């Protein structure tokens, strides 16, 4: 294990880059109609209501009403005329005001159920002026939770690898982190060699990935804000597929240190390794169950790629997938009862959803030609994945029920290997009203 200090290292928030652009490709016909009324906003302050509206729209559960169709534009509760909104068939109304005092912004908001004429949630979110997008995302989070009883994930981040110059003599790889809507993208690392398999620690402040900067694959643990990096696995052969345990104290990975790709668990504090699988087949792409007691992984021990689970104490394993001849890259949903994985159908690859206990069939969520690398939002509502569009790597996001899908193409290169962050700590303050 050795520290890494390389000249091409770029720290987070030092070099802003162009954002990904969301393109809605499939909507939900059964979405609830919602009106996000333009907030009362002081002169010189950026709009927040449009961000809140778009967050709720891209969740797939809400269909916003256009401002020009609104019969009134209330900003405080006493101005809400529920009859106006019933005429438009509106299910929910969100109103708000923005206040600015020196460099501090406060967004006061209210969300109402139109049919019940009842307030669902209200609060104040406060931060500095530069956090206007973060404030808007938190407002959307609170509104989403107030209506659905599911925590919003709009304040989370997505991490991905951007490849420029693919197929040329001088390709480059960038590891980037952006807001969940693809905006505010920031460069974490840039390399002339591949970067693969980025993953988040549960604290949201540490990441791990595979780097080829030495010419061979090494697993690196990287503290985002300090930029401090450490190689934790640089054995001869394959070092791949790192994934933090739910408590952040262990890192599971695939290593060929003993000759064959097997699953190993590393204690983060002591750097001690424990071998979990022993099989002549390739075992890789491990992920933890939510209790941290089992690992789900891909293996070709049956003759083709299938998904298995193994208890890390008893080392007893069990095959989980039996439909089809290619099932790979498993990911556990936050409910702990279901999983996602890549499934091949008629020579095309799609993201599917199924019960972890084999109690149901596969449910196909995506229908592109080459869908891979799924990662689920921490509230379990949306899934980000890599796919292709006109031969170019882009990111796609689909709701967990498959009803809503949108894409995040980049104007700069090929985007791949997405990873959705956990819920993150914030310096914003929230006061419930």
Residue 163 and residue 43 share a domain:
no
How far is 258 from 236, CA to CA, in rounded Å?
A: 9
Residue 254 falls inside a structural domain:
yes
Residue 259 falls inside a structural domain:
yes
How far is 241 from 331, CA to CA, in rounded Å?
A: 12
- For residues 17 and 185, the answer to whether their CB atoms sit within 8 Å is yes
For residue 340, what are the domain limits? 2-16+156-420
Residue 213 and residue 111 share a domain:
no
Residue 414 falls inside a structural domain:
yes
Residue 375 falls inside a structural domain:
yes
- Domain finish residue from 154, 179, 212: 154
Residue 147 and residue 288 share a domain:
no
pLDDT tens per residue across span 21-55: 555 555 566 889 999 999 999 998 988 999 999 99
Residue 427 falls inside a structural domain:
no
Question: Which CATH number is 287's domain given?
Answer: 2.120.10.30
Residue 264 and residue 138 share a domain:
no
Closest by Cα among 83, 115, 108, 93 to 37: 93
Residue 381 and residue 232 share a domain:
yes
Residue 432 falls inside a structural domain:
no
pLDDT tens per residue across span 398-433: 988 888 888 887 878 899 999 999 999 999 999 999
Task: Identify the sign of the CA torsion 28, 33, 35, 36.
Answer: negative
Give pLDDT, residue 89. 96
How far is 119 from 78, CA to CA, in rounded Å?
A: 12
Q: Which segments of the chain have a pLDDT < 70?
A: 1-29
Give pLDDT, residue 332. 96
- Domain finish residue from 154, 188, 215: 154
- Domain finish residue from 154, 188, 208: 154
Number of domains present in the structure of the chain: 2
Residue 182 and residue 74 share a domain:
no
Residue 433 falls inside a structural domain:
no
How far from the centroid of its chain's Cα atoms is residue 92's Cα? Answer: 27
Strand pairing partners for 106?
A: 99, 126
Give pLDDT, residue 391. 85
Give pLDDT, residue 11. 34
Question: Which CATH number is 47's domain given?
Answer: 3.40.50.10070
- For residues 193 and 215, the answer to whether their CB atoms sit within 8 Å is yes
Residue 170 and residue 233 share a domain:
yes
Helix (H, G, I), strand (E, B) or coil at 273: strand
- For residues 329 and 341, the answer to whether their CB atoms sit within 8 Å is yes
Residue 174 and residue 149 share a domain:
no
Structure tokens at 378: 């921490």
Give pLDDT, residue 16. 38
Task: Identify the sign of the CA torsion 424, 425, 429, 433.
Answer: positive
pLDDT tens per residue across span 166-216: 889 999 999 999 999 989 999 999 999 999 999 999 999 999 999 999 999
Residue 175 and residue 234 share a domain:
yes
Residue 238 and residue 384 share a domain:
yes
Give pLDDT, residue 29. 62
Residue 42 and residue 133 share a domain:
yes
Residue 191 and residue 322 share a domain:
yes
Residue 309 falls inside a structural domain:
yes
């Amino acid at each position: 294990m050795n520290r890494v200090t390389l000249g091409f290292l770029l720290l987070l928030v030092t070099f802003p880059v162009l954002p990904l652009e969301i393109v809605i490709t499939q909507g939900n016909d059964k979405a609830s109609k919602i009106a996000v009324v333009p907030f009362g906003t002081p002169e010189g302050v950026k709009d927040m209501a449009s961000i809140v509206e778009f967050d709720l729209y891209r969740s797939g559960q809400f269909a916003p009403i256009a401002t020009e169709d609104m019969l009134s534009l209330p900003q405080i509760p006493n101005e809400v005329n529920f009859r106006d909104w019933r005429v438009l068939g509106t299910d929910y109304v969100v109103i708000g005001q923005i206040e600015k005092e020196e460099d501090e912004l406060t967004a006061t908001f209210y969300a109402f159920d139109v049919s019940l004429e009842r307030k669902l949630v209200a609060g104040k979110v406060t931060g500095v002026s530069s956090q206007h997008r973060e404030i808007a995302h938190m407002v959307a989070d609170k509104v989403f939770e107030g209506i659905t009883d599911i925590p919003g994930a709009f304040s989370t981040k997505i991490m991905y690898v951007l490849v420029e110059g693919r197929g040329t003599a001088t390709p480059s790889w960038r590891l980037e982190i952006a807001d969940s809507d693809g905006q505010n993208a920031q460069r974490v690392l840039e390399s002339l060699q591949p970067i693969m398999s980025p993953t988040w620690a549960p604290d949201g402040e540490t990441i791990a990935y595979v780097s080829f900067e030495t010419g061979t694959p090494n697993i690196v643990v990287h503290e985002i804000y300090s930029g401090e990096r450490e190689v934790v696995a640089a054995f001869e052969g394959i070092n791949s597929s790192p994934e933090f345990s739910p408590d952040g104290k262990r890192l599971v990975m695939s290593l060929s240190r003993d000759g064959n790709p097997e699953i190993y668990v590393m204690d983060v504090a002591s750097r001690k390794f424990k071998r979990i699988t022993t099989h002549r087949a390739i075992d890789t792409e491990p992920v933890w169950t939510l209790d941290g007691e089992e690992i789900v992984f891909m293996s070709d021990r049956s003759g083709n790629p299938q998904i298995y689970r193994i208890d890390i104490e008893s080392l007893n394993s069990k095959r989980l997938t039996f439909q089809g001849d290619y099932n790979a890259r498993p990911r556990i949903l936050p409910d702990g009862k279901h999983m996602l994985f890549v499934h091949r159908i008629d020579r095309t690859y799609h993201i599917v959803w199924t019960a972890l206990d084999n109690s149901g069939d596969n449910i196909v969520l995506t229908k592109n030609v080459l869908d891979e690398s799924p990662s689920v939002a921490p509230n379990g509502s949306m899934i980000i994945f890599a796919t292709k569009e006109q031969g170019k790597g882009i990111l796609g996001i689909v709701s967990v029920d498959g009803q809503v899908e949108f894409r995040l193409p980049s104007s700069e290169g090929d985007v791949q290997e997405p990873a959705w962050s956990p819920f993150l700590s914030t310096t914003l303050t929230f006061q419930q009203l």
